Amino acid sequence: MKHVPQRTCICCRQKFPKSQLIRIVRCDGKFFIDKSQKSDGRGAYFCGSNECKIKLLKSRGLDRTFHQKVDDEVYKLLCEEITK
């Protein structure tokens, strides 16, 4: 059986197969959605469920994960990515 790497959602703390998650990466102080899942840098995984989306926006979960203020723009980008 093939081993499926699992990652934890930063919101609900549940584990999911890596490929199902949205990866947010910080590189050179900039945040972006890592579609290839191959970029270097500090990454956070997000399951993209509606509940988590609301929670993430409300609690500004990314700020905590990356220990810095994350621009609203990044949250917006992330939401757009999820609703696709």
Residues that bind Zn ion (CB under 5 A): 9, 11-12, 47, 52
Q: Which is nearer to Zn ion, 12 or 82 (CB)?
A: 12
| Spatial CA neighbour of 44 closest among 62, 69, 58 | 62
Give the C-alpha separation, 74 to 32, whole Å. 7
Minimum separation from the CB atom of position 7 to Zn ion (A): 11
By DSSP bridging, strand 42-46 and strand 6-8 are unpaired
User: At its nearest, how many Å lie between Zn ion and the CB of residue 11?
Assistant: 4
Q: Which is nearer to Zn ion, 30 or 59 (CB)?
A: 59
Question: Please, are residues 30 and 73 in contact by the beta-carbon 8 Å criterion?
Answer: no
4 versus 54: smaller Cβ distance to Zn ion? 54
